[in-house]
Structure 1
Amino acid sequence: MDKESEFIKNMFEKGVLVNKDLLEKKIDPSIIDKIEQESDLIVLNNDYVDVINQQTSLIDWYEVDIYRVEAEKERDDSIYQSHLQTFKQSTLMLNTPSFSQEQNINSLESDFDENSNFLLTIETSLDEELPADLLTVSLEEKLDSKEIEIVTSFKNVPKKYVVKDFTQIFLSRYRFLEGLLRNRKELENTMAINRLLSKKEKDNVALIGLVEDISETQKGNLILTLEDPTGKIKVLVTKTNKNLYGFAKELVVDEVVGISGISGDKIIFADAIIWPDIPSNNELKKSDKEEYMIFLSDIHVGSNLFMKEEFEKFLKWLNGELGNEKQREIAKNIKYIAIAGDLVDGIGIYPSQLEELKIKDIILQYQEFNNLIKQIPSNKQIIICPGNHDAVHLAEPQSAFDKSFSPTLFDLPNVTLVTNPAMVNVGKTKTFPGFNVLLYHGSSFDYYVAHVESIRNNGGYHRADLIMKFLLKRRHLAPSFKSTPYFPGHKEDPLLIKKIPDFFVSGHIHYSNISNYKGITTICGSCWQEKTSFQEKMGHEPEPARVPIVNLKTREVKILKFK
């Protein structure tokens, strides 16, 4: 077999097709090893090789491919080359992880084997004052405030709800996101909708509105209905503007966006869609201490599918009883553990669940969880938020557990209990501001997998990074009101992402994924439960017993497998 054929064969085995133009030049054999770090790469050509060989950035190859295909269709590669240059100039550094662009980390994993000598390897792949009911709520002041500070947790106060409570959520959402969008250059001359409706002449205009409706014309164009406190207006997105049309297809109802375009008779012809998003200059912070933080979720104690053996192996590693010297050193330096919900399997969560329960009493489930978690060394601080399987109400924000159902959770001195969602600050010192960690279990994820085509068609439940990027871009954890049950008793929308986090942590989908978006490390925890009958029917493929680990000094990320 000649070198070219062998190269094509090696690439094909890695799921990568080789473009003919690449074979006309001398191929560097080292490219094969570098491809291991580019998990989304489907086609390899000369342009892509140049980007990979520079070793300066990890790229969203799906996005690059969109521009490449459009260039081939239109026989005009100017836009493609322009975007390619942008990607080449990315500041996402492989060897120094002070990156600001998107990094997907899901290709390399390390198996945990107490008899092995391997080292863990890196996975390559509210500034405003808060209303009184959003202020920090510390349920148990157990911890040194210098180690963990609760930035945002919620107190739900039951009352009789009226329509005004719901409208207040949407109005507060609009006001905050409008403030972010007005800072964008494209929206400097934003006009209220009632003024736009009175315009008769064609003119360049901009508006900010909440998406009330999305419909499609017979010719395939999109009609958006946007509203603000002054009125409603139609916005037309034509399918001939392919880039804009692709962005518009990702819109969901109830999100707040900016639109620029040309005014018509009670209609806007859109030429750009602007999201609140994360600033491009968002700082990627690093601690001055060699400390680690690990992330768990979806433990599901009480299920007969709970992976107790693997979880106990994890606990032994935390206690320095398993692993080689390097692994034990990492375990010793773990300072923080975040658990993003579903501590137990609960009762009556899905049809036929009782048949899959080993422990059929909710209090006993929490007792068993406590028996496991108290084996974690007391010098490691644990932050826990609830999930949809836990014994709290489903409406978000979910309360931070209830002593009547989970009394044992309140007994451990190194445990901090917060609501879902919540934000905590860890690692703060006199010279370092600490890391803001946003915890959200992820109950809204199901909706966006089902309703956003770009997420569904590019991995769905296996691509938590796409879902989390989608939410960060909108600065909201559940922009569509239907995507998760709401607790309406707050003066301000509690699911807004007001303060930019350093870490965005979730669970729910039982599939670990780590990525970076504009300096924010997004982490979806794994699970500790084998596939259930319900997941089998839904077509879910869980990936259990994986533990994401972050070095807070370097921001390097590792995943350790215990199965």
Structure 2
Amino acid sequence: MTKSKEEIIEEMFEKGVLISEDFLKKEENQSSDNKFTGKIEAEEDLLVLNSDYAEVIKQQTSLVDWHELDSLKVGSEKERNDDLYQNELQQLKKSELVLQNSNTSKETSSLEVELNVEENGATTSTTTETKSEELIESSMNVIELNESEKNNLAMLKNVEIVFSYTNIPFKYKINDFGNIFRSRYKCLEKLLRNRQELRSTLTINRILGKKEKEKVSIIGVIEDVGTTRSGHIMLTLEDLTGKIKVLVSKNNKDLFPLAKELVYDEVIGITGNCGDKIIFANNIIWPDIPETNEMRKGNKEEYAIFLSDLHVGSNVFLEDEFNKFLRWIQGDTGNDKQRELANKVKYIIIAGDLVDGIGIYPTHEEDLKIKDIKKQYEEVVRLIKKIPLNKKIIVCPGNHDLVHLAEPQPVFYPEYTQCLYDQPNVIVVSNPAMINIGKTEDFSGFNILMYHGCSFDYYVANVESIRNNGGYHRADLIMKFLLKRRHLAPAFKSVPYFPGHKEDPLLIKTIPDFFVTGHIHYSKVANYKGVTMISGSCWQAKTSFQEKLGHEPEPARVPVVNLKTREVKILKFV
């Protein structure tokens, strides 16, 4: 029996559910479904029913967190970017993936293109190496090798996973999210207390009890950032004992611009003068990298190269350019100096988005050449098999890969990517992860922090100094921003979170030698207090979706680092 619009609206209203116009258009002239109506009754938290939610309900076999989904929907409309919302829908739907039978490989051109090299000198500063507890125990993949492969992979022992996360699902409670913030606060408070200005820090409840005006210092988490009618910045800081207001005057020409960079949930130190339940700030202190941090150099000449965002499977995957890169790394193209450089490359780090994925954004399938996710990863493996076995490849996932979006993202699901695990020179880690390369008997190796960079979108949109000084073209500003805060996503809203770890997994506890990211499709190299910051390029031309968002990618660039001198070059394969 077909129901009218009015009957559908009335029926759902009685169940406490409002109906969207797009749902009515789809349901009009369709027969009523008692099973579907029953499923809606089971969804107690459902407030508004649209066509997307209807598809989820029809296909889903378990209850959905509608509050979270509503929040993502509102965020997508407000920020005009529905990546998170669409990805969550794809996770909830039990959709069948369409197989593509056509051969997706292309013949490589016989025309060799000479490599162009951009020099990018690395500046130095100094410190002592900092070590901390590993966030999580992990071990390297167990790889079965024949004798010839063992000879080719003698350098395998020079790669060590410092940490890589495994997420164990369970029923989350509010306290689990609270634990994340408490662990973050305690870790960063410890770092901040090492600062001379904060060694006599008081708790907030003690400051609230003070009757006289005097100089004070506190450490807290930013609960709120606002602006007064007079144009001053007003913060609400909290610690484990209470909350207090902190005012940063617009007349403080040095401090006010720094205060404008503050974001929700970051941990900072404040010094200033206390008033009646308020502090008038005269300084803001971040956990930051110590000024004494040293740029360490290896004791033998070998090279590491940094890739990201291959996006294999996309209609605009730059296969010709990637094949030029492969021919170079095989030593088959370039001048003598460039071939010698390729021979000395020992490590290839790929910071996420190996494939373009499926259903990442609306109409995504129209932009795909390979519409089967397994075949996308098989094509990745077909390409990286051309890389010589004596070069170790370390990969982490990104937001286009087949893993959940909540961070830390686990390693690739083997049921879809077994071909990747079967490669003897590939190590797979989570996002984020830390690896150590180049260790010898008399050198402790380089710590490389790998992070795809999903949080970058939030800081480009919300931090004025980043947005006005290049935005997506200035990954170095974003990475410096995060290193300064010793956290990969200080604002809780900047990425979806997996709350199942005892300690905040996005803390930067160990100071890395290299901080490697991707995501924004624009290569950038810089140094900050002894840390080499590298943003990978991409191997995908501008998509229609990127064009709508105003993104301007700079593809087919490969940063190459001499581990003995820390000099960085950028190779161009365009």
Structure 1 residue aligned with 2:403, among 375, 379, 392? 392
Cα distance between partner residues in 1 of 2:337 and 2:269: 50
For residues 497-538 of structure 1, what are the alpha-carbon distances to aligned partners after superposition, in whole Å with 9 as ceiling and x for unaligned? 000000000000000000000000000000000001110010
The match for 2:133 is: 129
Q: Could you tell me whether the CA contact under 8 Å between 1:140 and 1:416 is conserved in 2? A: no
The match for 1:518 is: 529
Query: Residue 216 of structure 2: SS of its match in structure 1?
Result: strand
Cα distance between partner residues in 1 of 2:115 and 2:312: 31
Query: Residue 146 of structure 1: SS of its match in structure 2?
Result: helix
Cα distance between partner residues in 2 of 1:137 and 1:162: 30
Cα distance between partner residues in 2 of 1:259 and 1:441: 31
Change (3 A) 1:337 1:384: same
Query: Residue 527 of structure 1: SS of its match in structure 2?
Result: coil
Query: Residue 404 of structure 1: SS of its match in structure 2?
Result: helix
Q: Could you tell me whether the CA contact under 8 Å between 1:114 and 1:324 is conserved in 2? A: no
Give the drift of 1:115: 6.4
Q: Could you tell me whether the CA contact under 8 Å between 2:113 and 2:324 is conserved in 1? A: no
Q: Could you tell me whether the CA contact under 8 Å between 2:115 and 2:572 is conserved in 1? A: no
Change (3 A) 1:130 1:550: closer
Q: Is 1:529 aligned with 2:540?
A: yes
The match for 1:409 is: 420
Structure 1 residue aligned with 2:140, among 123, 138, 141? 138
For residues 166-222 of structure 1, what are the alpha-carbon distances to aligned partners after superposition, in whole Å with 9 as ceiling and x for unaligned? 000000000000000000001011000000000110111000000000010011001
The match for 2:163 is: 152
Q: List, as ranges, runs of 4+ consecutive aligned residues in structure 1 with deviation greater than 3 Å.
A: 113-128, 137-145
1:109-124 alignment runs, 5 A limit: 121-122=119-120
The match for 2:48 is: none
Letter in 2 for 1:235: V
The match for 1:544 is: 555
Change (3 A) 1:122 1:216: closer
The match for 2:18 is: none
Q: Is 1:163 aligned with 2:174?
A: yes
Letter in 2 for 1:128: S
Give the drift of 1:283: 1.3
For residues 335-381 of structure 1, what are the alpha-carbon distances to aligned partners after superposition, in whole Å with 9 as ceiling and x for unaligned? 00000000000000011111110000000000000000111000000
TM-score by length of 1: 0.78
Change (3 A) 1:450 1:115: closer
Q: Could you tell me whether the CA contact under 8 Å between 2:538 and 2:554 is conserved in 1? A: yes
The match for 1:196 is: 207
Give the drift of 1:243: 1.1
Q: Could you tell me whether the CA contact under 8 Å between 1:120 and 1:327 is conserved in 2? A: no
Cα distance between partner residues in 2 of 1:310 and 1:410: 25
1:150-549 alignment runs, 5 A limit: 150-549=161-560
Change (3 A) 1:119 1:257: closer
Cα distance between partner residues in 2 of 1:485 and 1:404: 24
Give the drift of 1:127: 3.2
For residues 304-327 of structure 1, what are the alpha-carbon distances to aligned partners after superposition, in whole Å with 9 as ceiling and x for unaligned? 100000000100000000000000
Q: Could you tell me whether the CA contact under 8 Å between 2:449 and 2:515 is conserved in 1? A: yes
Query: Residue 254 of structure 2: SS of its match in structure 1?
Result: helix
Change (3 A) 1:165 1:137: farther
Give the drift of 1:147: 1.1
Query: Residue 406 of structure 1: SS of its match in structure 2?
Result: helix
Letter in 2 for 1:135: E
Query: Residue 157 of structure 2: SS of its match in structure 1?
Result: coil
Change (3 A) 1:129 1:118: closer
Give the drift of 1:242: 1.3
Cα distance between partner residues in 2 of 1:552 and 1:534: 38
Letter in 2 for 1:136: S
Q: Could you tell me whether the CA contact under 8 Å between 2:357 and 2:402 is conserved in 1? A: yes
Give the drift of 1:130: 3.9
Cα distance between partner residues in 2 of 1:115 and 1:301: 21
Question: Unmatched 5+ residue regions in structure 2?
Answer: 1-110, 124-129, 145-152
Change (3 A) 1:386 1:115: closer
Cα distance between partner residues in 2 of 1:233 and 1:438: 35
Give the drift of 1:405: 1.2
The match for 1:46 is: none
Query: Residue 324 of structure 2: SS of its match in structure 1?
Result: helix
Give the drift of 1:136: 2.2
TM-score by length of 2: 0.77
Letter in 1 for 2:172: Y
Cα distance between partner residues in 1 of 2:439 and 2:512: 14
Cα distance between partner residues in 1 of 2:122 and 2:137: 37
Q: Could you tell me whether the CA contact under 8 Å between 1:137 and 1:155 is conserved in 2? A: no
Change (3 A) 1:220 1:358: same
Cα distance between partner residues in 2 of 1:501 and 1:381: 19
For residues 434-470 of structure 1, what are the alpha-carbon distances to aligned partners after superposition, in whole Å with 9 as ceiling and x for unaligned? 0000000000000000000000000000000000000
For residues 224-257 of structure 1, what are the alpha-carbon distances to aligned partners after superposition, in whole Å with 9 as ceiling and x for unaligned? 0000000000000000001101100000000000
Change (3 A) 1:119 1:305: closer
For residues 36-64 of structure 1, what are the alpha-carbon distances to aligned partners after superposition, in whole Å with 9 as ceiling and x for unaligned? xxxxxxxxxxxxxxxxxxxxxxxxxxxxx
Query: Residue 195 of structure 1: SS of its match in structure 2?
Result: helix
Letter in 2 for 1:129: E
Letter in 2 for 1:379: N
Letter in 2 for 1:157: I
Cα distance between partner residues in 1 of 2:131 and 2:361: 40
Change (3 A) 1:472 1:120: closer
Give the drift of 1:145: 5.7
Q: Could you tell me whether the CA contact under 8 Å between 1:137 and 1:154 is conserved in 2? A: no
Cα RMSD of the aligned pairs, angstroms, is 1.6
Aligned pairs, number:
449
Q: Could you tell me whether the CA contact under 8 Å between 2:120 and 2:525 is conserved in 1? A: no
Letter in 2 for 1:333: K
The match for 2:36 is: none
Higher-Rg structure is 2
Change (3 A) 1:138 1:119: closer
Cα distance between partner residues in 2 of 1:506 and 1:279: 22
Letter in 2 for 1:417: V
Letter in 2 for 1:121: E
Change (3 A) 1:451 1:406: same
Change (3 A) 1:117 1:240: closer
Change (3 A) 1:436 1:162: same
Q: Could you tell me whether the CA contact under 8 Å between 2:138 and 2:161 is conserved in 1? A: yes
The match for 1:60 is: none
For residues 66-105 of structure 1, what are the alpha-carbon distances to aligned partners after superposition, in whole Å with 9 as ceiling and x for unaligned? xxxxxxxxxxxxxxxxxxxxxxxxxxxxxxxxxxxxxxxx
